[in-house]
Amino acid sequence: MTAFVETIYLRRFVAVLATVWVVSLAGCQRDDRPLSRFSCRCTFLTDTDDTSEQRVEVCATATKEACYEAEGCAQSAAPAPIQACQCEPLSGSEPCPAKTCKVSEFR
C-alpha cells in the first residue's frame, strides 16, 4: 500500500512540475519594444450630462496600449468615469524611458 501512495505522490509531483515548466515557457516574456509618447483625449460625462474631456500624455508601445494606459491616467484626475480615449503618437518625440502618465489639460 505504501508503494502505491508513493507512486501517486510522485505522479502528482511530476504533473505539477510539467505544468510549471509549460507555463514558464508560454507567457512571461519581456516586451523590449521602445516606448513612445502618445497624446490622448479621454471623454467623460459631467454631473449635468455634458461631455467633457481630459487630455493626457502617456508612454506606450502601441496605440491600443496607449488608449488603455490613458484611461487609467485620465481617471486619476477626472471627476467622473472615463468613457473612452483616443490616442495619437506625438511626432518627433524621443522614446520614453519608462511608462509615464501626465495630465496636460482639463476641459
Q: Where does the pLDDT of residue 94 fall: very low under 50, low under 70, confident under 90, or very high at 90 and above? A: confident
pLDDT digits (tens, 9 = 90+) for 74-83: 998 888 899 9
pLDDT given for residue 58 in this prediction: 94
pLDDT given for residue 33 in this prediction: 73
Higher pLDDT, 31 or 71: 71
Given a cut of 60, is residue 104 above it in pLDDT?
yes
pLDDT digits (tens, 9 = 90+) for 21-57: 544 555 555 556 789 999 999 999 988 888 899 999 9
Cα–Cα distance for residue pair 87/98, rounded to 1 Å = 18
Q: Where does the pLDDT of residue 9 fall: very low under 50, low under 70, confident under 90, or very high at 90 and above? A: low
Cα–Cα distance for residue pair 53/107, rounded to 1 Å = 5
